Amino acid sequence: MTLLLAGDIGGTKTILRLVQFSDTVGLKTLYEESFPSGDFPDLVPIVQKFLTTANSSTPDKACFAIAGPVVENTAKLTNLSWFLDTERLSKELGIERISLINDFAAVGYGIFGLTKQDLLTLQVGKYQSAAPMGIIGAGTGLGQGFLIKQGQGYQVFPSEGGHADFAPRNQLEFELLKYILTKYDIQRVSVERVVSGLGIISIYQFLRDRKIATESPVIANAVRTWEQEAGKSEKTVDPGALIGNAALEKSDRLSEQTMQLFVEAYGAEAGNLALKLLPYGGLYIAGGIAPKILPLIQDGSFLTNFTQKGRMGSLLGEIPVHIILNQQVGLIGAALSASRL
């Protein structure tokens, strides 16, 4: 048995999980705890407190998934002053083997620790065991990555594809592009500005200002509060969640149209990634948004826009597409990655 420490490190919270691993049983969670990242000057005191509370011996290996790029075993978190270095962490924590990986790379590894109950298949497609696998996930931002077969396993590669250009496909989306360019006084619009939690709010603001439909007082108040809190590290409201719930309940026409445009853009971008990878090993929809709006993803518009690629549409119709329902896939991936150290 090997004792592993897995971590999901973000600007808002840090989740740690103590795991026992064996080739026969696989992963067995022993203890898990979440910490507010901003309350600590560094990751080291969090891990020390965690291991003390868990009454655990020093883990054999550790892997931490970081919300940001990892360069030469170091990472600077976007919304924290933490600078993480595997050599320093190993020395101060007494853990012999430590790795840092991008949080979306962790999702890639985590796919192999999921069960059938953790997935919802949107499109069965024609699975090919030797083909690449793709990952895309809208949440706070838009993550993308891919996996390539190597020997008996896969190598996971994160990417910054969410920062590629947003490609409008019709008059409404062209107007949305112009709206975002003007509103934020920027030179280009990344697809992440549309297909993400922040994108949901941008789409809502765009349709609201075009007076597509009357605003709900509750959502209108939430959006305006959010706008007034611009620049603050923590918001008191989550209008994106309210908009998504209202669309699911069909209680607000403006929210319904917002989510329709969002799902169409999400499907189109997933199709763009699929065109570049041809992931007949499966395209996995990760992130926090998809599981919360499943009926909207399943109503057909996501797959319609996914396959709406002209002459290439028939190719995309053969790609297996799955939604990851388990929101702890990153922790699972960090644990599996640690086991390989």
Q: Output the known binding site for ATP.
A: 7-12
How many angstroms separate the Cα of 111 from the Cα of each of 35, 94, 337? 25, 29, 11
> Whats the size of the chain, residue-wise?
341
Beta-strand ranges (E) seen in the chain are 2-9, 13-22, 26-36, 61-66, 74-76, 83-85, 97-102, 119-123, 133-138, 142-150, 153-159, 283-286, 321-324
Nearest to 108 by CA among 159, 162, 157: 157
Nearest to 112 by CA among 341, 326, 268: 326
> Do the Cβ atoms of 334 and 63 come closer than 8 Å?
yes
> Do the Cβ atoms of 18 and 56 come closer than 8 Å?
yes
Q: Return binding residues.
A: 7-12
> Do the Cβ atoms of 298 and 321 come closer than 8 Å?
no
